[in-house]
Structure 1
């Protein structure tokens, strides 16, 4: 097992969002096979319709997001990236998707806002509230 664990409340949130009909995808800068393995080991991969990670063809965050949007036929205006780094926010800006910054990961609220977060979430349930406000 890799040295990763889920933040408290994430598993429940993923189930709730699925139950509400949201289509969930992962877009990560991690190598795609590794991302899938980690999500499998964490027991949450079934919550996602597809996992998109770094590949030779999709190296930068914006490339990964665009691959997801294109392959799934999703309009950027209908998508939200939820992330904890400036790279998530920059990738979201470059692709035209809405951006939620989360503060329980690597980025501070200030840094996430500086790089384009439109909404800041301080706990998992804030994501559900923010999505319902769109």
Structure 2
């Protein structure tokens, strides 16, 4: 079986607005100046404690748990506001549908989100049951550590040479290369294309059509565009 592992934020769903808003609220609630938007986008993909730690700096490492909790509370409140819903990127729903129909492919998720956050996204878009393995910040070390990929391989029995990680950040590419699997970068997310290339991505895709082609070329998927 071939295993296609997707990052979530910035790859499947456009969550930048709610993440930035929640982080700004959390920092304000704990008396810190809000980070620049570009700085917040730069840490998307890391697990939450690592992301907050990078933003507050080493001198405030003791404050990380409080800011993390404030972020969780802010994110929960914002999620109830329709203006902050996380939409799927254009073309992603159809791509997942077509990949899921292939008899020789398994789909998975490797993400810095919590399992609860992933479950809510899947429920909102009626994607439950599409993914054979879901690895989250609750289950493994933060990216770029290869633990999420290693656990996905163990859970599904897939071989490394038949496994692909698809993501929008340098953390995704580094994780894939550390795990010895193919790294496919997407250019519609939150890290600059140059960062993904520097991190060692094997393919760089500018849109879902080029992602379809990269998956087909990498794992031998017989494409279905309809």
The question of a shared fold, defined as TM-score above 0.5 by the shorter chain, is answered with: yes
Question: Could you tell me which of 19, 30, 38 is aligned with 2:101?
Answer: 19
Aligned-pair CA distance for 1:103: 0.5
What are the within-5 Å matches in structure 2 for residues 89-128 of structure 1?
Answer: 89-128=173-212
Instruction: List runs of 5+ in structure 2 lacking aligned partners.
Output: 1-77, 80-84, 219-226
What are the within-5 Å matches in structure 2 for residues 9-88 of structure 1?
Answer: 9-21=91-103, 22-55=105-138, 57-61=139-143, 62-88=146-172
Work out the CA distance in 2 between the residues paired with 1:104 and 1:64.
Answer: 23
Work out the number of aligned pairs and report it. Answer: 133
Work out the CA distance in 1 between the residues paired with 2:128 and 2:167.
Answer: 17
TM-score, reference length from structure 1: 0.90
**Bigger relative CO (Cα 8 Å, ≥ 6 apart):** 2
> RMSD of aligned C-alpha atoms?
1.6
Which structure: greater strand fraction?
Answer: 1
**C-alpha contact (below 8 Å) 1:29/1:64 kept by paired residues:** no
Work out the CA distance in 2 between the residues paired with 1:7 and 1:52.
Answer: 21
Larger radius of gyration: 2
Aligned-pair CA distance for 1:30: 1.2
TM-score, reference length from structure 2: 0.55
Q: Secondary structure at the match of 2:112?
A: strand
**C-alpha contact (below 8 Å) 1:29/1:59 kept by paired residues:** no
